Amino acid sequence: MRVARGEYVGIAKKMKQVDKVMKIPPFTNLAVFVIFFGIALIEALQKQAWLEAGLFLALGVLSLWADFKKS
Protein backbone atom coordinates (compact mmCIF):
# COMPACT_ATOMS: atom_id res chain seq x y z
CA MET A 1 0.00 0.00 0.00
CA ARG A 2 1.38 3.37 -0.98
CA VAL A 3 0.74 6.49 1.03
CA ALA A 4 1.55 10.07 0.27
CA ARG A 5 4.59 11.59 1.92
CA GLY A 6 2.54 13.88 4.14
CA GLU A 7 0.60 10.96 5.58
CA TYR A 8 3.76 9.59 7.21
CA VAL A 9 4.13 12.86 9.10
CA GLY A 10 0.49 12.60 10.20
CA ILE A 11 1.02 9.05 11.42
CA ALA A 12 4.15 10.08 13.35
CA LYS A 13 2.23 12.91 15.05
CA LYS A 14 -0.56 10.52 16.03
CA MET A 15 1.96 8.07 17.51
CA LYS A 16 3.51 10.84 19.61
CA GLN A 17 0.06 11.79 20.88
CA VAL A 18 -0.65 8.17 21.82
CA ASP A 19 2.75 7.99 23.55
CA LYS A 20 1.88 11.01 25.69
CA VAL A 21 -1.47 9.52 26.70
CA MET A 22 -0.04 6.06 27.46
CA LYS A 23 2.72 7.23 29.83
CA ILE A 24 3.10 5.10 32.95
CA PRO A 25 2.51 7.12 36.13
CA PRO A 26 5.65 7.67 38.21
CA PHE A 27 6.55 4.99 40.75
CA THR A 28 4.22 2.39 39.20
CA ASN A 29 7.16 0.06 38.64
CA LEU A 30 8.30 0.63 42.21
CA ALA A 31 4.86 -0.30 43.53
CA VAL A 32 4.85 -3.52 41.51
CA PHE A 33 8.36 -4.25 42.79
CA VAL A 34 7.37 -3.78 46.42
CA ILE A 35 4.26 -5.92 46.06
CA PHE A 36 5.88 -8.79 44.18
CA PHE A 37 9.43 -9.00 45.51
CA GLY A 38 8.61 -7.67 48.97
CA ILE A 39 5.91 -10.23 49.67
CA ALA A 40 8.00 -13.05 48.18
CA LEU A 41 10.99 -12.02 50.29
CA ILE A 42 8.94 -11.81 53.50
CA GLU A 43 7.43 -15.22 52.82
CA ALA A 44 10.86 -16.76 52.16
CA LEU A 45 12.24 -15.24 55.36
CA GLN A 46 9.30 -16.58 57.39
CA LYS A 47 9.89 -20.08 55.99
CA GLN A 48 13.62 -19.64 56.72
CA ALA A 49 14.36 -20.53 53.11
CA TRP A 50 17.57 -18.54 52.98
CA LEU A 51 18.52 -19.47 49.42
CA GLU A 52 15.09 -18.43 48.17
CA ALA A 53 15.25 -15.21 50.20
CA GLY A 54 18.68 -14.42 48.76
CA LEU A 55 17.40 -15.08 45.25
CA PHE A 56 14.42 -12.76 45.67
CA LEU A 57 16.60 -10.09 47.26
CA ALA A 58 19.12 -10.28 44.40
CA LEU A 59 16.39 -10.22 41.75
CA GLY A 60 14.72 -7.30 43.50
CA VAL A 61 17.92 -5.25 43.67
CA LEU A 62 18.69 -6.05 40.03
CA SER A 63 15.16 -5.06 39.04
CA LEU A 64 15.34 -1.75 40.92
CA TRP A 65 18.77 -0.99 39.46
CA ALA A 66 17.53 -1.66 35.91
CA ASP A 67 14.39 0.42 36.47
CA PHE A 68 16.24 3.49 37.74
CA LYS A 69 19.09 3.11 35.24
CA LYS A 70 16.82 3.58 32.19
CA SER A 71 15.54 6.96 33.43
Torsion, CA 43, CA 45, CA 46, CA 49, rounded to 10:
90
Residue 6 pLDDT greater than 90, yes or no: no
The model carries a pTM of 0.53
Task: State pLDDT tens for residues 8-51.
Answer: 556 666 666 655 666 766 677 778 778 888 898 899 989 999 99
Cβ(60)–Cβ(41) below 8 Å: yes
